[in-house]
Structure 1
Amino acid sequence: MSSDDTSVEQGNIHFGPADLELNRIQTSHLINDAVDHFSWKNLTVTVKDRKTKKAIQILDNAHGIVNAGEMLAIMGPSGSGKTTMLNALAHRKAAAGAVTTGDIMANGQKMNLQTIRHLSSYVEQEDALIGSLTVRETMKFAAGLALSSHISHAEREQRTDDLIASFGLQEQAHTIVGTPIRKGLSGGQKKRLGVASRLVTDPRILFLDEPTSGLDSTLSYEVINFIRAIAKKNKLIVIASIHQPSTATYKLFDKLALMSKGKMCYFGPLNEASHYFSGLDLHMPSETNPAEFFLDLINTDLAKEGDRVYQRTQRIIEAWGASRQALQLADEVESSIFSSKDAGHVQDLSKMKIQKPSPWKIPWVLLQRSWIKAYRDIVAYEIRIIMYVGLAILMGTVFLRLKTSQEYIQPFINAIFFGSAFMSFMAVAYVPAFLEDQANFAKERANGLVGPSAFLISNFIIGLPFLFLIAILFSVIEYFLSGFRLDGNAFFLYTMWLFLDLLAAESLVVLVSVIFPIFVVALAVTAFANGLWMCVDGFLVPMNILNPFWKYVFHYIDYQAYVFQGMMVNEFKDRTYSCARLGDGYQCSYPSDLISEGKIEGTAVLKAFNISLNKEGEWVGILIAIIVVYRLLSYLVLRLRND
Structure 2
Amino acid sequence: MDNDAPDSNAGSPNLDLERNEARHFLMNGSVSQFSWSGLNVTVKDRQTKEPRDLIHDISGDVRQGEVVALMGPSGCGKTTLLNVLARRPATSGAKVTGETYVNGATIESSAFGRMTSYVEQEDALIGSMTVRETLKFAADLSLPSSVSKRQRMERIRTLLEAFGIQKQADSLIGTPIRKGISGGQKRRVSVASQLITCPKILFLDEPTSGLDSTASYEVISYVKELARESNIIIIASIHQPSTTTFQLFDKLLLLSSGRTCFFGPVSNIGDYFRDIGHPIPGNTNPAEYLLDIVSSDFSALTDDADNRVQQIQSAWKESPQVQAVTQKISERSHMEEKGLAVGGDDLARAGVIKIIITLLHRSFIKSYRDVVAYGIRIVMYLGLAIMMGTVWLRLHPSQDYIQPFINAIFFGSAFMSFMAVAYVPAFLEDRATFAKERANGLYGATPFMISNFLIGLPFLFLIAILFSIISYWLSNFQPTAVAFFTWVMWLFLDLLAAESLVVFVSAIFPNFVIALALVAFANGLWMSVGGFLVTPTILNPFWKYVFHYIDYQAYVFQGMMVNEFSERIYSCGDGCQCLYDTDLASQCQIRGTAVLENYGYATGRTGKWVGILIGIIAVYRLFGWIALQVRKN
Q: Of 387, 394, 397, which aligns to 1:394?
A: 387
Q: 1:25 aligns with which of 22, 29, 38?
A: 22
Q: Cα distance, 1:626 vs. partner?
A: 0.4
Partner of residue 412, structure 1: 405
In the TM superposition, what are the counterparts of 1:377-392 in structure 2 within 5 Å? Answer: 377-392=370-385
Answer yes or no: is the 8 Å Cα contact 2:72–2:78 preserved in 1: yes
Between stretches 271-280 and 539-548, larger displacement belongs to 271-280
- For residue 520 of structure 1, the aligned residue among 513, 516, 521 is 513
Q: Does 1:36 align with 2:32?
A: yes
User: In structure 1, what is the Cα distance between the partners aligned to 2:301 and 2:248?
Assistant: 35
CA contact (8 A) 2:280 2:289 kept: yes
The Cα of 1:259 is off from its aligned counterpart by: 0.2
Contact 2:486 2:563 in 1 (8 A): yes
One-letter amino acid of the counterpart of residue 435, structure 1: L
Report if the CA contact (8 A) 1:139-1:197 is conserved. yes
Contact 1:111 1:350 in 2 (8 A): no
Percent identical residues: 57
SS in 2 for 1:567: helix
- Residue 33 of structure 2 contacts residue 103 of structure 2 at CA under 8 Å; is this kept in 1? yes
Distance 1:550 1:515, change over 3 A: same
Letter in 2 for 1:509: V
- Superposition pairs for residues 243-392 of structure 1, below 5 Å? 243-303=239-299, 307-338=303-334, 340-341=335-336, 346-349=338-341, 355-392=348-385
Deviations 1:125-157 (A, max 9, x none): 000000100101100000011112211111111
Q: 1:23 to 1:190 in 2, by over 3 A?
A: farther
Tell whether the 8 Å contact from 1:62 to 1:264 is kept in structure 2 after alignment. Answer: yes
CA distance in 2, matches of 1:136, 1:221: 23
**Counterpart of 1:25 in structure 2: which amino acid?**
A
Moved more, 356-365 or 119-128: 356-365
Contact 1:258–1:266 (CA under 8 A) maintained in structure 2: yes
Distance 2:305 2:21 in 1: 49
Relative to structure 1, is the Cα distance of residues 26 and 186 closer, same or farther in structure 2, using a 3 angstrom cutoff? closer
Q: Deviations over 1:104-126 (max 9, x none)?
A: 11100113221221111100000
Q: Which stretch shifts more, 107-116 or 64-73?
A: 107-116
Q: CA deviation at 1:349?
A: 4.7
Mapped to 2, the partners of 1:26 and 1:186 lie a distance apart of 27
Given the alignment, which residue of 184, 189, 197 partners 2:180?
184
How many pairs were matched up? Answer: 614
Q: Confirm or deny: 8 A CA contact 2:25 2:198 kept in the other structure.
A: no
1:636 paired residue number: 626
Question: For residue 66 of structure 2, what is the aligned residue in structure 1?
Answer: 70
SS where residue 577 of structure 1 aligns? strand
Aligned to 1:4: none
Structure-2 change in CA distance of 1:351 and 1:390 (3 Å): closer
Measure the CA separation in 2 of the matches of 1:532 and 1:85.
45
Relative distance call for 1:318 and 1:305 in structure 2 (3 A) is farther
Unaligned ranges ≥5, structure 1: 1-21
Per the alignment, residue 608 of structure 1 pairs with 598
The normalised TM-score by structure 1 is: 0.93
**Counterpart-to-counterpart distance in 2, 1:82 and 1:479:** 59
Q: Is the CA contact (8 Å cut-off) linking 1:579 and 1:599 kept in structure 2?
A: yes
Contact kept? 1:110, 1:350, Cα under 8 Å: no
Deviation at 1:53, TM superposition (A): 2.7
Paired position in structure 2 for 1:620: 610
Q: Which residue in 2 is equivalent to 1:3?
A: none
Decide which moves more: 50-59 or 184-193: 50-59
Residue of structure 1 equivalent to 2:84: 88
Measured in 2, the distance between the counterparts of 1:290 and 1:392 equals: 64
Q: Which residue of 2 aligns with 1:11?
A: none
> 1:340-392, CA deviations, whole angstroms, 9 ceiling, x for partnerless residues?
23xx8x33559977622122111111111111111111122211110000000
Residue identity in the other structure for 1:401: R
Which residue is 1:226 aligned to?
222
Q: Which amino acid aligns with 1:151?
A: V
Alignment of 1:97-246 (within 5 A): 97-246=93-242
Residue 362 of structure 1 aligns with an amino acid whose one-letter code is I
User: What CA distance in whole angstroms lies between the structure 2 residues aligned with 1:434 and 1:428?
Assistant: 10
Which residue is 2:13 aligned to?
Answer: none
161-170 vs 536-545, greater mean Cα deviation? 161-170
Distance 1:366 1:63 in 2: 40
Structure-2 change in CA distance of 1:614 and 1:580 (3 Å): same
Shift of 1:93: 0.4
Q: What do residues 311-346 of structure 1 show as CA deviations (whole Å, max 9, x unaligned)?
A: 1001111111111111111112112223x23xx8x3
SS of 1:47's equivalent in the other structure is strand
Aligned partners of 2:328 and 2:617: how far apart in 1?
Answer: 57
Confirm or deny: 8 A CA contact 1:134 1:176 kept in the other structure: yes
In structure 2, stretches of 5+ residues that fail to align are 1-18
Report if aligned partners of 2:31, 2:342 keep a CA contact under 8 Å in 1.
no
Aligned counterparts of 2:21 and 2:226: Cα–Cα separation in 1? 11
**Counterpart amino acid of residue 347 in structure 1:** G
CA distance, structure 1, for counterparts of residue 344 and residue 256 of structure 2 = 37
* Residue aligned with 2:41, SS: strand
Q: CA deviation at 1:29?
A: 9.3
- Which residue matches 1:561? 554
1:558 maps to a residue whose letter is D
Work out whether residues 188 and 222 of structure 1, in 8 Å CA contact, stay in contact via their aligned partners in 2.
Answer: yes
**After alignment, is 533-542 or 586-595 more displaced?**
586-595
Give the Å deviation of 1:52. 3.0
Alignment-mate amino acid for residue 571 of structure 1: E
Of 426, 446, 451, which residue of structure 2 is paired with 1:453?
446
Moved over 3 A (4+): 26-30, 303-306, 348-354
2:537 alignment partner, SS class: helix
The one of 428, 442, 457 aligned to 2:421: 428
Q: How far did 1:174 drift? A: 1.0
Whether contact under 8 Å (2:240, 2:287) holds in the other structure is yes
> CA–CA distance in 1 between the matches of 2:349 and 2:183?
32
| Farther-moved stretch of structure 1 (313-322 vs 45-54) | 45-54
CA distance in 2, matches of 1:518, 1:498: 28
1:270-292 Cα distance to aligned partner (Å, 9 max, x none) = 01112111111111110100000
**1:10 aligned residue:** none
d(CA) in 2 for partners of 1:368, 1:84? 35
